[in-house]
Amino acid sequence: MNLAEIRRARPLLGTLVEIAAHGPDAEAAVAAAFRAVEQVHALMSYHDPASDVSRLNREAAARTVTVHPWTWQVLHAAREFSLASDGLFDITVAPALTRLGYLPRHADFPRASSRADWRSIELLPRHQVRFACPLHIDLGGIAKGFAVDRAIEALQAGGVTSARVNAGGDLRRFGPERETVHVRHPQWPTLLLPVIELGEGAAATSASYFALHRSGGLPCSPHIHPRTGRSLAGDLSVTVLARDCMTADALTKVVLADRHAAGAVLERFGARALVIDRDNHTGAWRLRDSTPLRESHA
């Protein structure tokens, strides 16, 4: 049976979230998938004062805060990525993003300590969280991927035969077909480059082109190197392929921060990276691939 594809888009998570599905009752499954994304948005938004993230930033340095199991799950995963990458992935870089104007200032958050890092977040039993010192977390580098995974879960529970979810470049699909994944060119973002065919699995891309600001006359991006606190800029695009989208999303930041150190981390999570960058000597654009996955992706 060849049913028409249901394809919808809504503005969520600060981007355009597109969900598409084939199969019986796809309409209802897509609606359920959007509800899952909306819930992640409500829990993990840095902007929303009522989110778990804002409650933590406001209160967790003073007292233990109980969060939704999904928030706890993301915080736990973030810790795994920080541990595996020796801090190249770090959700406590929010103050730097606020300084650069990527995140709003919340007057009621206590001032973040300059020695805070991912180790200052204590994950306690029964979904409780406490900060060892005042700090601001931002789940922008991981929650979109998590939202995509929850949407995929909802689509699978809804019985569709194939589906894909794309949250501003964090995408995941399942189903019998394979589809080409396109990546934007770092210098000409409206130019789309086909880079890989994906069957089941996730791809996430991080690049600075659309979000580029200028700070003190210099271009900067919302990608902060956790060890230097500096913004990473440059014509570079990093795509990570992994089984789930949260892993792909988080690991793009590790590859952006340090391509050489990222090898071990990618391998540990069974992931693969594709980088588009410019050759320093010739100026030519090139597409490069890390060691392929052991289990084939496509």
Partner 1 sequence: MHKELIWLSLPALAAPALPAYAVQYLTLEQAQRALFPEAAAFRETRILLTAEQRAAIEKASRVRVRVPELNAWRVESAGKTLGWFLLDEVYGKHEFITYALALDYSGAVRGIEILDYRETHGGEVRNANWRAQFVGKRAGAPLELDNDIKNISGATLSCKHIADGVRRLLASYEAVLK
Of residues 52 and 170, the one with the C-beta less far from partner 1: 170
User: What's the Rg (C-alpha) of the chain?
Assistant: 19
- As a whole number of angstroms, the distance between CA 276 and CA 65 comes to 41
Helix (H) or strand (E) holding 167: strand 162-167
Which residue from 227, 191, 228, 184 is spatially nearest to 208, judged by alpha carbons? 184
Sheet holding 65-66, edge to edge: 65-66, 128-131, 121-124
Nearest-approach distance from CB 210 to partner 1, in angstroms: 5
Indicate the helix (H) or strand (E) that contains 82.
helix 69-84
Nearer to partner 1, 122 or 210 (CB): 210
Of the two residues 132 and 193, which places its CB atom closer to partner 1 in the complex? 193
Shortest gap between Cβ of 62 and partner 1 (angstroms)? 32
Backbone angles phi, psi at 244, to 5 degrees: -115, 160
Within 10 angstroms of residue 83's Cβ, the number of other Cβ atoms is 12
Q: Return d(Cα 216, Cα 290) in angstroms, integer.
A: 35
What is the secondary structure of 19-32 as a DSSP string?
EEEESTTHHHHHHH
Backbone angle region of 243, left / alpha / beta, with phi > 0 → left and psi within -120 to 50 → alpha: alpha
Helix (H, G, I), strand (E, B) or coil at 183: strand
When the beta carbons of 75 and 275 are compared against partner 1, the nearer one is: 275
Residue 101's alpha-carbon distances to 45, 96, 177, 235, 273, in angstroms, are: 16, 9, 41, 21, 29
Per CB under 8 A, residues contacting partner 1 are 7-12, 14-16, 18, 20, 164, 166, 168-171, 173, 178-185, 188-195, 197-198, 203-211, 237, 239, 259-264, 266-267, 273, 275, 284-291
CB of residue 121 to partner 1, shortest distance in Å? 26
CB of residue 165 vs partner 1: minimum separation in angstroms? 10
Rank residues 180 and 215 by Cβ distance to partner 1 and give the closer one.
Answer: 180
Nearest approach, Cβ of residue 263 and partner 1 (Å): 4
- 56 vs 171 by CB, closer to partner 1: 171
CB nearer to partner 1: give 206 or 231.
206
**Cβ distance to partner 1 smaller for residue 15 or 128:** 15
Q: How far is the CB of 20 from partner 1 (least distance, A)?
A: 7
* DSSP label at residue 5: P
CB of 12 to partner 1, least distance (A): 8
**What minimum distance in Å lies between the beta carbon of 110 and partner 1?**
28
Distance CA 166, CA 181 (A): 11
- Type of residue numbered 272: R
First-to-last C-alpha distance (Å) of the chain: 24
